[in-house]
Structure 1
């Protein structure tokens, strides 16, 4: 008797919930339909589930492709609702992107906060999720400028990038004839670069409490952090943590926080020697009560999780595209040979003589931007986009993937043609004035590591190709190189790229002797 009664109660509850949500949706539509501007068009959303059937999780499997398809049907400004997480508007044209990121920059000061980032309250002090009017957000941007986004900071850290790019090249030559995972090799190098900039240590072999490698812990946290979570589409499930993501992320973040805090304490209690790294600057800010220890550990976590992943992804994509198009690889290696001659290793000062490698990186970012969907959130009322009303609280997605492949903007849009960037001053990393090319975003939330990435990525790619030829393993031909992608907040290869370095120089790298 009890079980049937429970079932009846559940059914009644669901029915009432559906009616209430439908009424609220109708009220909201009536409220805004009476305004001077209409809401953006989009597919019909069902009660409760919204457009979730078109997606897996809040954004879906390969959402950049799904949203590009929606734009072909409804136009360059499309609205949809993934579950009960609120309304989303996706922007898929240069004109609409310019209006969103420049004209409405101040109105888009906030960002959607995924449930995974709420683990240990990380989002409350994270530069990625704080609104741009936050004092802490501004403080973090200032801190980053000391090493990653100003000319003086980049000049100071140049020897670090040169040293580890050289090590990467030495390692690949030592592995001549052996298949390697490109992403792993690059990620180790990027991790060492970042850890030396931050606290003057190589990060590859560092271990956290319990003996786990620091780099492995970063990978674990990133994998869970970037997985789709049902709680984002249906917030009432958040407290249940159905997939266990927040619990796993909390354990990983706790280890990272402790690791960074120990570095902080060790430096503060150690000698007064100036290391000229970011941690020295952080200590000075802490001494002036501008940053707390909690804010510092979250800041370091953000930097490592972001920089070690996005740079690795771009280099791996570039290598995949070059292996897929051996004529481009040949052209690039010829440029390196002609410009560097007998010089054994590439240095950052050589990059000005290598226009084709910059063109390759730019074309890679056009086709496969590491962050294909730039997220923003409307934080003020009365905003409009393209003649449509966009209410406060609406989540905005700038579809860089769609803009970069727009055939009305890019001739042969789906082809890998680095030559299109040669001699073009308007198409640089900061984007074109008409917004056809904005791989690092724009406005206040433009990627703070833009200038750093613009130096590091081509340097690593050049170091991997100078005096090193590449082949594919197991008789794979260039036509079979798998360029399928996988979205998980960032856009990476669906399968890790494996290739074989071939070098005439084969000796143990100096740090192993």
Structure 2
């Protein structure tokens, strides 16, 4: 009896495969789909390519199947774009058609099903949220209002590292102190607040919850339930944890930051708009009925995730590359000493007259792109791309890392060589003026945080190189720069211990 059942099951599976192939062929006649590995029923290409859809694995698939390829991940279509020309179509020429965001079961939880700005679909809600966030966060006025605060935070980092006896001998994990700096940079803008030390209880709670949110959202562990809805019941435990973390984070934002700012505004109104912090502007929009309380909370959630950690990753990558390339570090130090003078601390306006510093930042963002696949795009309706038909609601991944590291377009891209941005690539900027180089994306859904990230990177890296000789720890010739990727992130696998020897200036 068992053999009969097994035989029937195998026959049923065979029939399903035949039907799936037949449907695929018929669909191929009707739609000209991008090339890709042959999918199997139910699982698609998931069993072939696995969960880890990182920038390097997708680059290998692009070399095999071409600049635009299709992966069928369970019931989801995933289109990978790997050439400047097709990236231009997705991000610029057809920016409206491909301007929406895909979500998944976990991001639906953390963004309230798209009540934020970053992960919402393209439309009126996104336009409203982008407009409301631009004035308090993403303008030159904001940079000028807060640059002295960023310079102050960088100076505090320098002072703390100099005061740590281990820093100049056995080394310290510099990232920990830089993380506090980045939280203070952004919380000064958001709430006119800062944390006094790494041991501040509120900072520790906030950092822990944000870290757990990032781990849960960036993990590949939940893909099986996202790709194949039939398996979603097995995600109940995982999704329950996500909901608990989400509720605790939003409650923390509300109790310790939003409510305190509201109380302060009610007792001590801010008359001068120039002195308002970002959340004052956001709360004004809520009072006017433009957004609701949930939207306010999800704006805070976006800034905690999209602004703090990504910039921190880039700073960490930049420092690691300077440690591993002492000639580059010395060349940068010479520029700082020559242009500004020994002992003259770099400020935000100075960064524009330091071309080698700018080149170091550009090269860091090229080789070690914090969001190597950008934030995924989606087409709400059937669309055309690169001569192929793209089914509605496909997830579009632009492999920005490969665009910036393809040897067909870059000279020796595997080398960390800032000079390229002073020589053959001198006209290339981080703002997307060249579709081979898109660290912040480009077009309607580009990252507006570029206006904050670049000066913070310049100030921080500049101050550290001015004040310290940055070295690997005793017994090591170089730092380990193995990569750790998530759903769309790229950071160092092991946070590096760095020796920071104070310079005699």
Q: TM-score, normalised by structure 1?
A: 0.88
Residue of structure 1 in register with 2:406 after alignment: 406
Structure 2 CA distance, aligned partners of 1:77 and 1:273? 54
Structure 2 CA distance, aligned partners of 1:251 and 1:393? 29
Residue of structure 1 in register with 2:194 after alignment: 202
Does structure 2 retain, via aligned residues, the 8 Å contact 1:115–1:232? yes
In structure 1, stretches of 5+ residues that fail to align are 507-513
User: Given the alignment of the two structures, is residue 486 of structure 1 paired with residue 484 of structure 2, yes or no?
Assistant: yes
The 5 A counterparts of 1:87-126 are 87-119=77-109, 122-126=112-116
Residue of structure 2 in register with 1:182 after alignment: 174
The 5 A counterparts of 1:330-349 are 330-349=330-349
Structure 1 CA distance, aligned partners of 2:22 and 2:185? 54
Deviation at 1:269, TM superposition (A): 2.7
Does structure 2 retain, via aligned residues, the 8 Å contact 1:141–1:448? no
Does structure 1 retain, via aligned residues, the 8 Å contact 2:102–2:119? yes
Over the aligned positions, Cα root-mean-square deviation in angstroms equals: 2.6
SS in 1 for 2:397: strand
User: Given the alignment of the two structures, is residue 141 of structure 1 paired with residue 130 of structure 2, yes or no?
Assistant: yes
User: Given the alignment of the two structures, is residue 233 of structure 1 paired with residue 223 of structure 2, yes or no?
Assistant: no
Structure 2 CA distance, aligned partners of 1:360 and 1:23? 55
The 5 A counterparts of 1:26-425 are 26-27=22-23, 29-35=25-31, 38-57=32-51, 60=52, 63-82=54-73, 84-119=74-109, 122-135=112-125, 137-175=126-164, 176-177=167-168, 178-203=170-195, 207=201, 213-228=205-220, 229=222, 230-241=224-235, 244-262=237-255, 263-270=257-264, 271-274=267-270, 276-374=276-374, 375-381=376-382, 383-422=383-422
SS in 1 for 2:498: strand
Size of the alignment, in residue pairs?
Answer: 488
Mean Cα deviation higher: 150-159 or 490-499: 150-159
Does structure 1 retain, via aligned residues, the 8 Å contact 2:101–2:377? yes
Residue of structure 2 in register with 1:509 after alignment: none
Distance change >3 Å, CA 212–CA 422, structure 1 → 2 = closer
Structure 1 CA distance, aligned partners of 2:503 and 2:466? 11
Does structure 2 retain, via aligned residues, the 8 Å contact 1:44–1:51? yes
Deviation at 1:206, TM superposition (A): 5.4
Distance change >3 Å, CA 31–CA 53, structure 1 → 2 = closer
Structure 1 CA distance, aligned partners of 2:468 and 2:327? 16
Deviation at 1:405, TM superposition (A): 1.0
Does structure 1 retain, via aligned residues, the 8 Å contact 2:373–2:398? yes
Does structure 2 retain, via aligned residues, the 8 Å contact 1:145–1:153? no
SS in 2 for 1:238: helix
Q: Deviations over 1:391-424 (max 9, x none)?
A: 2122111011111111111011211110111265
Mean Cα deviation higher: 163-172 or 403-412: 163-172
Structure 2 CA distance, aligned partners of 1:379 and 1:449? 26
Mean Cα deviation higher: 357-366 or 231-240: 231-240
Structure 1 CA distance, aligned partners of 2:17 and 2:107? 27
Structure 2 CA distance, aligned partners of 1:342 and 1:324? 24
Deviation at 1:19, TM superposition (A): 5.1
Residue of structure 2 in register with 1:432 after alignment: 433
Does structure 1 retain, via aligned residues, the 8 Å contact 2:35–2:70? yes
Deviation at 1:252, TM superposition (A): 1.8
Structure 2 CA distance, aligned partners of 1:285 and 1:417? 46
Q: TM-score, normalised by structure 2?
A: 0.90
SS in 2 for 1:126: coil
Q: Deviations over 1:155-205 (max 9, x none)?
A: 222222122122122222223415222332222111111111100111456
Mean Cα deviation higher: 120-129 or 217-226: 120-129
Structure 1 CA distance, aligned partners of 2:344 and 2:494? 32
In structure 2, stretches of 5+ residues that fail to align are none
Does structure 2 retain, via aligned residues, the 8 Å contact 1:372–1:399? yes
Residue of structure 1 in register with 2:499 after alignment: 500
Structure 1 CA distance, aligned partners of 2:366 and 2:217? 25
Deviation at 1:33, TM superposition (A): 2.1
Distance change >3 Å, CA 105–CA 18, structure 1 → 2 = farther
Structure 2 CA distance, aligned partners of 1:19 and 1:445? 44
Does structure 2 retain, via aligned residues, the 8 Å contact 1:483–1:493? yes
